[in-house]
Amino acid sequence: MAESPVTAVVEHLSSEIRRGVLPPGTALPTHRKLAAQHGIAIASASKVYARLQAMGLVVGEVGRGTFVRDRPLQREWDADDEARLSSQSVDLSFNHPTWAGQSDLLRATLRELASSGDVSALMHQQPPGGRLHERQIVADHLRQARGMRTTADQVFLVGGAQQGLDVTIRSCLQPNDAVAVDALTYPGFKMAAALSSLALKPVTALNDGPDLNALDALCRRNVIRAIYVMPTLHNPLGWVLSATQRRQLAELARRYDCLIIEDATYAYLVDDAAPPIVTLAPERTIYVSSLSKSVATGLRFGYVVVPQDYAARVKSVVRGSYWSLPSLVTAIATRWIANGTVAQQEQFQRDDARQRQSVAREVLDGMGMVAHPSSQFLWLPLPEGLRMDQVVAALAARGIAASKAEAYATTPHAPHALRLGLSSMPLARVGPVLAEVRHIIEHLPI
């Protein structure tokens, strides 16, 4: 069958984009010019751009035109990444939340900053950990949104939660220190721990959180220097610890003199959770979070809240490593926190995540998926006899990236399961993509 003109143009342009001939940010021809260049109708040109946008390769901006995406869905992977796929049209391995008006908001904010009284201040280097008034904005936000009582000098601004975890480890732990972690935990912490030669000690999981009796036994048998925990929306299992579980965990940390590293990256998605553990054990809890999942992954703005006794050593590590965030990034992020933009986007992401989870529960019904109703991801156990590498390879062949359980496992043997992120594609595609995932899994030979 002869190739349609629309398909031919789509394949030509997608190839040019993927090969870098059309680099990110390139302005593409108007619909009329594209039609003239390729001898197709204007309506067909519109179909070309619609298909390229659905593939995640271009973005259309009202009144400005169509542009090659600044973040085309292509990456190079190594053996430690959750998924391995050089080029894909659907990314379920990471969460890259987007929202309508993102570009317009950034342009408006940059214009505001450009017209501010002392724009040259944005070219100055900040003090280690950030300027005091911007740290105070974060402290105020945490008091209002999370019920945390903290001061500006306990807050350190970092380049996302991952850098926050790295700073925490290098500030407060030594090589070979033992750290208690969930049997399935965030891969970024595993990587940071490996770089600092920490000994991770897995804690078995129950249906609603870590087995605290097992944690108690672990602390009795070993000198555990720290406990890494995600009490509000665990990644990847989605549990939210109750107030009782949080009190028990804080009591265990006091009994065995453990530091608590509280990762709150996804905590904003749950609006009825118990107070953070840092409010129960502020003298031994380091709280780490960011705006990556609520506002934009590329903003790279996060924060670490530390007990006063740890502030000096954290500041020393900050000074000796990255010194401070770019002033422009900090100005944008703290402005959005102060003017309510972050709170607005957190509410949007909560509502959006609930819709995506509702679709997922319907499409994957009967497959044993595990997820919180407000989560941006889900955990999908595989049928007996199917290997996760087999499933991931089959998905990759169909242009779908997925994360394998082994990236999250801290035990020698990982369960055969996938962790699927739901926020990197338009809401309308969640159902069809998950239906394709189900079809692939159910039709693989066992």
pLDDT above 50 (res 201): yes
Tokens coding 324: 């401070």
Q: Which of 50-54, 333-337, 398-402, 422-426 has the lowest mean pLDDT?
A: 50-54
What gap in Å lies between CA 282 and CA 280, rounded to an integer? 6
DSSP reduced 3-state for 292:
coil
Beta bridge mates, 378: 420
- Three-class SS of residue 229? strand
Per the prediction, the chain carries an average pLDDT of 91
For residue 181, pLDDT beyond 60: yes
pLDDT at position 69: 79
Q: What is the pLDDT of residue 82?
A: 47
In this predicted structure, what is the pLDDT of residue 88? 45
Q: Dihedral sign for Cα 31, 33, 37, 39, please.
A: positive
Distance CA 38, CA 12 (A): 11
What percentage of the chain reaches a pLDDT higher than 70?
A: 95
pLDDT at 264 over 90: yes
Looking at per-residue confidence, does 298 or 280 come out higher? Answer: 280
> Residue 83's pLDDT is what?
43
CB burial class (10 A; 0-12, 13-18, 19+) of residue 413? exposed
pLDDT of residue 175: 97
Residue range 142-158: average pLDDT?
A: 96
pLDDT exceeds 90 at position 140? yes
Domains (range + CATH), the chain = 5-68 (1.10.10.10), 90-95+343-443 (3.90.1150.10), 120-339 (3.40.640.10)
pLDDT, tens digit, for every residue of 4-24?
889 889 989 988 888 889 988
Long-range contacts of 369-372 (CB under 8 A, 24+ apart): 370/237, 370/238, 371/238, 372/233, 372/238, 372/239, 372/240, 372/269, 372/270
Residue type, 84: R
CA–CA gap between residue 403 and residue 91 (Å, rounded): 10
Q: What is the pLDDT of residue 3?
A: 63
Spatial separation of the C-alpha atoms in residues 365 and 399, rounded to whole Å: 23
Q: Determine contact, residues 128/323, Cβ cutoff 8 Å.
A: yes
What is the distance, to the nearest Å, from the Cα of residue 366 to the centroid of all Cα atoms in its chain? 27
Q: Which residue has the higher pLDDT, 353 or 1?
A: 353
The pLDDT score that the predictor gives to residue 117 is 73
The stretch 323-344 carries a mean pLDDT of: 95
Asked if residues 187 and 200 have their Cβ atoms less than 8 Å apart, the reply is no
Return the number of other C-beta atoms located less than 10 Å from residue 169's C-beta.
23
The DSSP annotation for 159-187 comes to SSHHHHHHHHHHHH--TT-EEEEESB--H
| Lowest-pLDDT choice from 13-17, 156-160, 358-362 | 13-17
- pLDDT of amino acid 70: 63
Cα distances (Å, whole numbers) of residue 22 to 39, 57, 67, 161, 287: 21, 11, 10, 33, 42
Other C-beta atoms lying within 10 Å of the C-beta of residue 201: 17
Instruction: Tell me what the mean pLDDT of segment 35-41 comes to.
Output: 93
